[in-house]
Structure 1
């Protein structure tokens, strides 16, 4: 046999083998086996999470009654105080204009006093000699007493301007800053030497200390506008604190803001809830917290996993495929209820015990073919 004939035979053999392989692949059937799951009874709880913090229900800011410089702070943060306890003392820094005015007032009162005293002494001698009537003497005595009182008032005003107090005021001296309520000192934003001002029509005044009742705490957080309409006052919450692991504190919703604020393109609404404390834990003001809020709860309902669902491309209705025989499934449209993000309630469409196809076990080609159908 010639060399050319051998080459032709080899080519024919290779071509024949290739044709056989092609026919074998074309006629081969890909067998796809699906696993199944059955519906089950469960409790479905739909929740939302509000982020926020835990703060005291009542906080009182202690402010001075007079401007000056902090002379001494006698309490520390974390200390428990009662109403009337001394918090700090303030040293008054006199205002030059007020000081000059008070000084002039004293001088004027002194001149009026000396003049009234001279007249009173003269009228007294004349009255004793029977030269003037009693009425004239009493009038001069009244003028003298008034002048004496005005001089005393002017001197007291000078003392108040210079020292913040005057003789006879005792504990009422406004240089002593005292607690106006009982509780724990949670903040002292000033130190010795700080300049402070009193509250007035144009300024809220300098805060010397903040007192809070640490036995009454609330959760303050925010929820999205898509969920705020589902909230009801009196709803039970579970508050988790970032600083305390594996512990949840019960709370009750008592406030939902009527107006929202826009944050990051979404409208957020403030909520507040009374927190029930545990004596075994000390809750500090400002702890970051999350509150689990139950929006809807259904007990012992028929449910399936949401991963089993498919949606019709035309009608967008949810459906599953239920096994009817060996490797055969039937499409079943469903009426769905509450979902918790993992499981979803099935109102109608499948019965308990139905074997539902698990889609993620099929091949990609098979899925595509079935979706097209």
Structure 2
């Protein structure tokens, strides 16, 4: 009976040891990773660059007053389409007291001078008619009289301009602010009651309104110095507007700045493109936009996803791993061409039949049992 119990105990120990060993092997073993493969394929690849910027009118005209004063009335609003000659605002003249006083004094002096010359003229006219003085002497007096009358007219006109804003009995020539070009009013930065000044040698003058033709728009943006050398005037652009989703505009590169500007440590070059404006939606001045430029394009080339590439740590040369058997791979050096950031051109080293390893696949992590976690 003791021997039976002894053998039973030994058997239990052996079975326990075998179970423990099997559990250990099972808990510490990992299944082999099964790598996927992809074949090279034929596709079209475009290498693009994106320039950020804005869409603005080709020409903006600032309307300035012809005389200083106060805005009396504004007749139009921003966004209204106007034609050249349309009335935008009127200005009320506020005369300068010092200039008014000087102008009045000049008028008074001209009147005194004219009265004095008139007396002399009338005296000499009577003598000339009696034949006492020569014709030449009378002609000189006649000239002085005419000059005195003209000086009085000039003084009176200057006084009226200072007082009313214009001579001739009407101030509409200078006090009326009219559009000088046809287009859309983009901005009226003044309001009724604001004081404005005319343009002169020391001041640009107050802007009454800004007018632009919104049918002639351009894209203004900047590109990095690493890409500006690949650009050429006349290249096509595709403009995407941030404010208009799902709509694109065609454009043509018209200008590349000859000088760059450093911004945040990088040299940027200004570019401009003529935008082909469409009639199905309105483009407002100042819309933010992105311009897509095709720097290089190749059709029907052999390519693989760029994510399959690996690079030698010493030479930085690209290579891939090609399947030679069931889950067996070997390194293959390749030569690449252009890339669009997703696919890369294969110049040499691969064929359409090669199966390229998707090398970055990882095995999913398995959750252990409660006993393993506690251990």
Is TM more than 0.5 here? yes
The answer on 1:296 being equivalent to 2:296 is: yes
| Cα pair distance change 1:217/1:23, threshold 3 Å | closer
| Pair 1:241 & 2:241 matched | yes
Deviations along 1:83-125, one digit per CA (max 9) or x if unpaired, are 2222222122222332222122112211111110110111122
Report the Cα distance in structure 2 between the residues aligned to 1:240 and 1:247, rounded to whole angstroms.
Answer: 7
1:49 equivalent in structure 2? 50
1:322-347 Cα deviation digits (max 9, x unpaired): 01112211100110011111110010
Give the Å deviation of 1:48.
1.4
Q: Which residue of 2 aligns with 1:178?
A: 178
TM-aligned CA deviation for residue 21 of structure 1: 5.3
**1:54: Cα distance to partner?**
1.1
How does 1:65-144 map onto structure 2 within 5 Å? Answer: 65-144=66-145
Task: Within 5 Å, give how 1:18-57 maps onto structure 2.
Answer: 20=21, 24=25, 30-57=31-58
Q: Distance in 1 between matches of 2:306 and 2:171?
A: 75
Deviation of residue 24 (structure 1)?
A: 4.3
Write out aligned runs for 1:276-355 (5 A). 276-355=276-355
Conserved 8 A contact 1:306-1:342: yes
Q: Unaligned regions of 5+ residues in structure 1, if any?
A: 365-373
SS at match of 1:139: helix
Deviation, 1:23, is 8.5
Q: Report the CA distance shift for 1:191/1:24 in structure 2 as closer, same or farther (over 3 A).
A: closer
Residues of 1 paired with 2:90 and 2:208: CA distance? Answer: 10
Per-residue CA deviation, residues 294-346 of structure 1 (Å, 9 max, x unaligned), is 11111111000011111111222111110111221110011001111111001
CA distance 1:180–1:21, change in 2 (3 Å): same
RMSD: 2.7
Taking the aligned partners of 1:149 and 1:29, their CA distance within structure 2 comes to 114
Separation in 1 of the partners of 2:149 and 2:258?
Answer: 62
Deviation at 1:197, TM superposition (A): 1.1
Partner of residue 267, structure 2:
267
Alignment TM-score, normalising by the size of structure 2: 0.88
TM-score w.r.t. structure 1 length?
Answer: 0.89
> 1:367 is matched with which residue?
none
| Cα distance in 1 between the residues matched to 2:221 and 2:29 | 62
**Do the aligned partners of 2:85 and 2:181 also contact (CA within 8 Å) in 1?**
yes
Deviations, residues 215-272 of structure 1 (Å, cap 9, x unaligned): 1111111112222222111111111112222111111111111122222332222111
Q: Cα distance, 1:38 vs. partner?
A: 0.4
Deviates more, 1:91-100 or 1:24-33: 24-33
Q: In 2, distance between residues paired with 1:140 and 1:26?
A: 131
> CA separation in 1, counterparts of 2:98 and 2:15?
116
* Alpha carbons of structure 1 residues 23 and 131: separation in structure 2 relative to 1, 3 Å: closer
8 Å CA contact 1:33, 1:362 repeated in 2: no
The equivalent of 2:255 in structure 1 is 255
Q: In structure 1, how many angstroms separate the alpha carbons of the residues matched to 2:223 and 2:191? A: 39
Name stretches of at least 5 consecutive residues in structure 2 with no aligned partner.
365-375
How far apart, CA to CA, are the structure 1 residues paired with 2:260 and 2:314? 38
Query: Where does residue 369 of structure 1 map in the other structure?
Result: none
**Could you tell me how far apart the structure 1 residues matched to 2:205 and 2:353 are?**
72
**Does structure 1 residue 223 correspond to structure 2 residue 211?**
no
Are residues 330 and 26 of structure 1, via their aligned partners in 2, closer, same or farther at CA, if it must alter by over 3 Å? farther
**Alignment match, 2:371:** none
The change in CA–CA distance for 1:26 and 1:88 in structure 2 (over 3 A counts) is closer
Which is worse superposed, 92-101 or 332-341? Answer: 92-101
Where 1:54 maps in the other structure, the secondary structure is strand
